[in-house]
Amino acid sequence: MALTGLDIYKLLPKTNCKKCGRPTCLAFAMQLAQKKANLSDCPDVSEEAKKVLGAAAAPPIKLVTVGAGARQVQVGEENVLFRHEEKFYHPTGVAVTIPDDLSEDAFNDRLKKVNSLKLTRVGTEIEIDLIAVMNKSNNAEKFAEAAKKVSAGSHLNMILSSASVDNMKAALQNCAEKRPLLHGASASNCEAMAALAQEKKCPMTVTAQTLEELADLAERAKKAGVEEIVLDVGGNNPKEVLQKLTKIRRLALKKNFRTLGFPMITFVCDEDPFQEIALASTYLLKYAGIVAVNACEPWAIMPLLTARTNIFTDPQKPIQVEPRLYAVGDVKDDSPILFTTNFSLTYYTVEGEVESSRVPAYILAVDTGGTSVLTAYSGDKLNDKVVAKAMTDAQVDTKVKHKKMIIPGLVAVMSGKLQETLGWEILVGPREASGLPSYLKTVWKA
């Protein structure tokens, strides 16, 4: 819970000495509360104040980094329960498992498959982040061998999962520099696993069935010197898992309960990939920092990654498509051309309708800073000059031989001016995108 300006003021020397550059201690306190000043600006601040204010300034959910280098995954440090309140910051890490008891061929095949889970949709590449090596064999050598193969043969960050500290130690010999997440600490081996994590400078998880036990374990790992902890709520009852994820997020954000102020991980293992991805998506939306699944088919992974893209989109910022000319279907130089804005929701709605009309057409996405048709028009981000520029940039006149532009029905009032500026015939399209198929099939064809 953030301290108010007055709370902070009480902790300051109250001398109004101006050494911090502010006229009074109260003014300084107010700026501290708004995070516009640093406590170090005050030369006379007490140790006690430093401690209290330092703790209050720390994020309620710790940021944990798995992996090293440019591809590392960072999870945690979230500020809100609902994305509309601000936004979600650190996209959930998506992991796919690989067991160490597979035959050599099967192991290599699966590794190859997992490595290739890079998918391109709506012009963007989306990808999983982690590969979780599971010590199914319970054998140290096999586990070490599997970890070595994955470390050498994959660009993905790693999770090592084993309940045995010895096996974990063996596996780490080959991949510690990758900073894998160590998954396997429970009540029975917490200190030993923590010592290993501490020695190898790796983040680690703690697993327990109840929140009370989980808090105790996190505390023990912390005492042993581990700072980057990920909480595994364990269990395979989906309702309980979902409720625990919510409770932990609320504890951290609303109660400032530091002991559980860490990101969370869930391993979802269901034989049916439909159930597995359904649950993984659910946990991803409601607060898991990392989800690990067995499914590794693109048709299973793509929706999970897309759910992540959607939920971690900044709600304050309109999302945009690249402003350019898009061809839908098998366009020719007599195909219709229509414009809309580059607000992605608007654009994709229009694109979907044009596609379903089966009339090949060009769509010109005009740069309106990612705002919708009416918003852009009222803010003067959509006028005849903007459209003219978009047409020139996209070299529209080289693509079609006619000079007819279909415009959104909502801005029919623009037609006169557009006609004048462009020298093109302006056709007023439907007010809603849903009217496009019949418009293209009837009005345009006629």
Give whichever of 278 and 428 is closer to other proteins, judged by the CB atom: 278
Rounded alpha-carbon distances, angstroms, from residue 154 to 100, 146, 179, 299, 322: 15, 12, 14, 21, 32
How, if at all, do strands 361-366 and 425-428 pair?
unpaired
Looking at beta carbons, which pairs linking 344-351 to residues 24 or more positions away fall under 8 Å?
344/318, 344/319, 344/320, 344/370, 345/319, 345/372, 346/372, 346/373, 346/433, 347/321, 348/122, 348/321, 349/433, 350/433, 350/436, 351/326
* Cα 434–Cα 439–Cα 443 angle in degrees, nearest 5: 170
Give whichever of 47 and 125 is closer to other proteins, judged by the CB atom: 125
Could you tell me the smallest distance in angstroms from the CB atom of residue 217 to other proteins? 10
Give whichever of 115 and 309 is closer to other proteins, judged by the CB atom: 309
Applying CB under 8 A, among 97, 151, 205, 281 the residue interacting with other proteins is 281
Task: Name the phi and psi angles at 426, rounded to 5.
Answer: -105, 125
Give whichever of 275 and 392 is closer to other proteins, judged by the CB atom: 275
Could you tell me the smallest distance in angstroms from the CB atom of residue 253 to other proteins? 9
Give whichever of 4 and 120 is closer to other proteins, judged by the CB atom: 120
- 10 Å CB burial of residue 394 (0-12, 13-18, 19+) is buried
Per CB under 8 A, contacts with other proteins among 323-362 are: 344-345, 348-349, 352, 356
Give whichever of 312 and 384 is closer to other proteins, judged by the CB atom: 312
Could you tell me the smallest distance in angstroms from the CB atom of residue 220 to other proteins? 11
Could you tell me the smallest distance in angstroms from the CB atom of residue 356 to other proteins? 5
Per CB under 8 A, contacts with other proteins among 35-94 are: 82-84
17 is in an annotated binding site: yes
The span from the CA of 435 to the CA of 314, in Å, is 30
Could you tell me the smallest distance in angstroms from the CB atom of residue 379 to other proteins? 18
Applying CB under 8 A, among 79, 313, 415, 419 the residue interacting with other proteins is 313
Measured torsion, CA atoms of residues 192, 212, 261, 220, in degrees rounded to the nearest 10: -20
What is the DSSP secondary-structure string of 337-378?
EEEEESBHHHHHHHHHHHHHHT--EEEEEE-SSS--HHHHHH
Range in contact with other proteins (rule: CB under 8 A) among 119-127, 129-137, 192-200, 373-381? 119-127
190 is in an annotated binding site: no
Task: Give the distance, in angstroms, between the CA of residue 247 and the centroid of all CA atoms in the same chain.
Answer: 21
* Cα 59–Cα 180–Cα 62 angle in degrees, nearest 5: 5
The span from the CA of 156 to the CA of 72, in Å, is 9
**Per CB under 8 A, 399 contacts other proteins:** no
138 residue type, one letter:
N
331, 357 contact by CB (below 8 A): no
146 residue type, one letter:
A
Per CB under 8 A, contacts with other proteins among 221-280 are: 237-239, 242-243, 246-247, 250-251, 254-255, 257, 259-260, 273-275, 277-279
**Per CB under 8 A, 311 contacts other proteins:** yes
Binding residues: 17, 20, 25, 42, 340, 346, 370-373, 433
Binding residues for 5-methoxybenzimidazolylcob(I)amide: 340, 346, 370-373, 433
Binding residues for [4Fe-4S] cluster: 17, 20, 25, 42
Contact positions vs other proteins (CB under 8 A): 82-84, 119-122, 211-212, 215-216, 219, 237-239, 242-243, 246-247, 250-251, 254-255, 257, 259-260, 273-275, 277-279, 281-282, 285-286, 297-300, 302-304, 306-307, 309-311, 313, 315, 344-345, 348-349, 352, 356, 434, 437-438, 442
